[in-house]
A and B are shown apart, each in its own frame.
Chain A
Amino acid sequence: MFWHNLKYEIKTVMREKDFILWMLLFPIILGTLFKVAFGSIYENAETFHTIPVAVVETKENEVFAGMLTAMTEGEEPALSATVTDDGEARKLLFDGDVYGILYVGDTVELSVTGKGMQQTILQEIVARCSVYETVIRDAIAENPAAVSDAVKALSAEVDVCRKNASEAGNPDVYVQYFYNLIAMVAICGCMTGLHVSTNSQANQSTLGARRNCSATPKSIHLVTGVLGSAVSQTCSMVVCVTFLRFVLRVNFGGSLFLLYLSAILSGFLGVTMGFFVGSIGRMRYEVKEAISMSVSMVLCFLSGLMVGNMKGIIAEHMPWINRVNPVAIMSDSFYCLNMYSDYRRFMTKIVGMLIYIVAFTVIGVLFARRKKYASI
């Protein structure tokens, strides 16, 4: 009876039009749109590239010359300098071949025509150069023996942050949208979980009544129903992650096995949440469906699916919401997997999901196990 039920539960869910649309096609379509929308933003706007700059020397400046050499050397230098005259430099700037002109004399001055990350970096370099120059000149004038110490002190990196062991993951902030997409697909599994509950209860559906009249115990209907939905949900999670990872080539970093594990557990959590909602109360199916959809969407919103920095806003004002929001836990698990080589934080997310799964299932079964109904 168990396998017979499970077989048909899986068949039924996999053939549902809603399941095919929302669980399989929707993430593929939305994932593709995300890729089109965000795919190159990070690469173009936030990844560091060598900044081309024109240098016009009006007077020899040894300190700056040393700094410029340091910044134009190496595999991926900060600057690519073209030393030229003022007229040529202006032409390069207006043609967009360089981001700024550095006028080098006793002091260093910057001329730019626009605003952006590159211009800001150039400004920072000029400011630093000015500080270095002042410090070194003062040292030479007051205590020449201290010059080498001053140079050392200026070169030393002062680290005021605690470092966490980090994975060589994908630092693209827009990958967060894909985490949220996976989490949304997972939480949409609540609709199949809801079906399991209503289709097993005589006071919720005619099918439930018929099943309750059969020779198969209700526990088998419930268990196979949840398992069948979980198996179907697993398929949709695997399709979703595989499509994002291998077709759209979204770099999630971390271990692929753990990525799938996290996605599958997330799907299971979605199913059990729906089962829980379906089991409590005597409301009509349509009401429960509306509750499930609304709750899912609110949780997705709070986790940042619709507004990218929402999770940050919540972390600042009401951090406990991020700790209890199942969708935030799901997307955080992907984030941890990507960003931290140490799996401690990832494991706390996994444990959080397991707690939810067990709680939703147990409470759902306690409510749904009712054998007789006061009204049908």
Chain B
Amino acid sequence: MKPTVVKIDNLVKRYGELVALDHFSLEIKEGEIFGLLGPNGSGKTTTINCLLSLLTFDKGDIEVFGQEMTPTSYDLKSEIGVIMQNVAVLDELTVRENIDYFCGLYVTDKAKRKALVEEAIRFVGLEDFVNFRPGKLSGGLLRRLNIACGIAHKPKLIILDEPTVAVDPQSRNKILEGIQELNRQGATVIYTSHYMEEVEQICTRIAIMDKGRKIAEGTKDELKGMIRNSETVSIEILELPEEAKEKISHLPHVYETEYDGEKLTVRCSGGRHNLIRILGVLQEAELGFGRVYSELPTLNDVFLEITGTALRDAKE
């Protein structure tokens, strides 16, 4: 069994009357890309700040690499790389100087640091911009610089707090690929985001948060397995007699049927040939139809079913 890298036990953090973290627990194993998914204000960043010992908390324990995390745990901190939600670089330094500066907060050996800085520059693809100041970089390049500053010292645990906010698709892909590459090189990653597609794409295990509580945890398949919905079939159809709709709702594994006059939505739980069976009913009734979609459940469906609110619509 792989060793535990991060253990958060029963964490409670209050801001006056507001409970930001409500008995939150978590265990992250070595080599994982662990996703913390939740809407804005769900407590993801608060969790990270408590984990990094920046924030005081009311109750609970936090261990990193098996040791209690405190503000003076410099040995532990040297193994952690942090990429904050907001870009935190020095505007007066060039790209190379910025990476060298932040790397130097962890690595004192000059020669070793030089090699690490060059490697980080290559890793984030900023070779052509080494002498640029941050103000001259685009939003995507700036995010890449932010990441390079956090990972240049080759930490064993990398914490990325919403690193792709306001980033163009090209840079976003580059960042996500980079995170997977860092993980392949041996780093454990904690990735917070409110973009479920990203979390689904790169995370090996996910915890879904809402209002300071962990509402679900597992691999993406495990999470999807927690909910009733396994497939949603949507068919564009201009006319649907009540008899046909009734027939569809009585098909095996169908648990919900909706028709809004233009589109038929059928939600199924389990089963392997739901689409064929539904189309069979429509053909039998000699009904014409347009485009047909079959969608597997997303983490948004998981969030929706557990909280009753869509992840995208959750109150910020």
A215 at the interface (CB under 8 A from B): yes
Q: How far is the CA of A373 from the CA of B52 in the complex (A)?
A: 11
A230 at the interface (CB under 8 A from B): no
15 A-B pairs with C-beta separation under 8 A: A1-B105, A4-B104, A8-B93, A202-B54, A207-B88, A212-B54, A213-B82, A214-B77, A215-B106, A216-B105, A218-B71, A371-B72, A374-B15, A374-B56, A375-B15
Beyond A15-B92, A209-B54, 11 additional pairs, beta carbon < 8 A: A1-B108, A4-B105, A8-B97, A210-B102, A213-B77, A214-B105, A215-B78, A216-B105, A216-B106, A217-B72, A371-B72
Distance from B244 Cβ to chain A, minimum over Cβ atoms (Å) = 57
Is chain B's binding surface mostly helix, strand, loop or mixed? loop
Interface residues of A in 330-376 (CB under 8 A from B): 371-376
State whether A12 touches B84 (Cβ < 8 A): no
A11 at the interface (CB under 8 A from B): yes
Q: How far is the CA of A52 from the CA of B15 in the complex (A)?
A: 83
Residues from chain A with a CB closer than 8 A to the CB of B104 are: 1, 4-5, 8
Q: Which residue of B lies closest to A221 (CB)?
A: B105
A90 at the interface (CB under 8 A from B): no
State whether B72 touches A209 (Cβ < 8 A): no
Q: How far is the CA of A8 from the CA of B99 in the complex (A)?
A: 12
State whether A213 touches B80 (Cβ < 8 A): yes
Instruction: Please report the total number of B residues contacting A with Cβ < 8 Å.
Output: 33
Distance from B7 Cβ to chain A, minimum over Cβ atoms (Å) = 19
Q: How far is the CA of A218 from the CA of B105 in the complex (A)?
A: 11
Given contacts A213-B77, A214-B77, A376-B49, contact A8 B101 (CB under 8 A): yes
Q: Which residue of B lies closest to A218 (CB)?
A: B71
Please, what's the 1-or-0 string for B65-89, where 1 marks a CB less than 8 Å from any CB in chain A?
0000001101101101010111111
State whether B71 touches A371 (Cβ < 8 A): yes
Q: Which residue of A lies closest to B106 (CB)?
A: A215
Interface residues of B in 151-169 (CB under 8 A from A): none
Given contacts A12-B93, A213-B82, A214-B102, contact A376 B108 (CB under 8 A): no
Instruction: Please report the total number of A residues contacting B with Cβ < 8 Å.
Output: 29
Distance from A15 Cβ to chain B, minimum over Cβ atoms (Å) = 4
Residues from chain B with a CB closer than 8 A to the CB of A245 are: none
B249 at the interface (CB under 8 A from A): no
State whether A374 touches B88 (Cβ < 8 A): no
Q: Which residue of B lies closest to A1 (CB)?
A: B108
Given contacts A11-B97, A214-B106, A216-B105, contact A373 B54 (CB under 8 A): yes
Q: How far is the CA of A207 from the CA of B75 in the complex (A)?
A: 21
Q: Which 7 A-B pairs have the closest CB atoms?
A: A371-B71, A215-B78, A214-B105, A15-B92, A206-B88, A4-B104, A210-B88
A16 at the interface (CB under 8 A from B): yes
Please, what's the 1-or-0 string for B246-287, where 1 marks a CB less than 8 Å from any CB in chain A?
000000000000000000000000000000000000000000
Q: Which one of A1, A206, A372 contacts B56 once the chains associate, using CB atoms below 8 Å?
A: A372
Residues from chain B with a CB closer than 8 A to the CB of A374 are: 15, 55-56
Q: Which one of B72, B77, B92 contacts A16 once the chains associate, using CB atoms below 8 Å?
A: B92
State whether B105 touches A372 (Cβ < 8 A): no
Q: Which residue of B lies closest to A216 (CB)?
A: B105
State whether A209 touches B88 (Cβ < 8 A): yes
Q: How far is the CA of A281 from the CA of B291 in the complex (A)?
A: 62
Residues from chain B with a CB closer than 8 A to the CB of A15 are: 92-93
Q: Which one of B54, B86, B90 contacts A12 once the chains associate, using CB atoms below 8 Å?
A: B90
Q: How far is the CA of A211 from the CA of B89 in the complex (A)?
A: 10
State whether A376 touches B54 (Cβ < 8 A): yes
State whether A213 touches B72 (Cβ < 8 A): no
Q: Which one of A4, A13, A206, A210 contacts B108 once the chains associate, using CB atoms below 8 Å?
A: A4
B171 at the interface (CB under 8 A from A): no
Residues from chain A with a CB closer than 8 A to the CB of B106 are: 214-216
Q: How far is the CA of A174 from the CA of B261 in the complex (A)?
A: 89
Q: Which residue of B lies closest to A14 (CB)?
A: B92
Interface centre among A202, A206, A214 (most CB of B within 10 A): A214
Q: Which residue of B lies closest to A370 (CB)?
A: B71
State whether A215 touches B87 (Cβ < 8 A): no
Given contacts A373-B54, A375-B15, contact A215 B49 (CB under 8 A): no
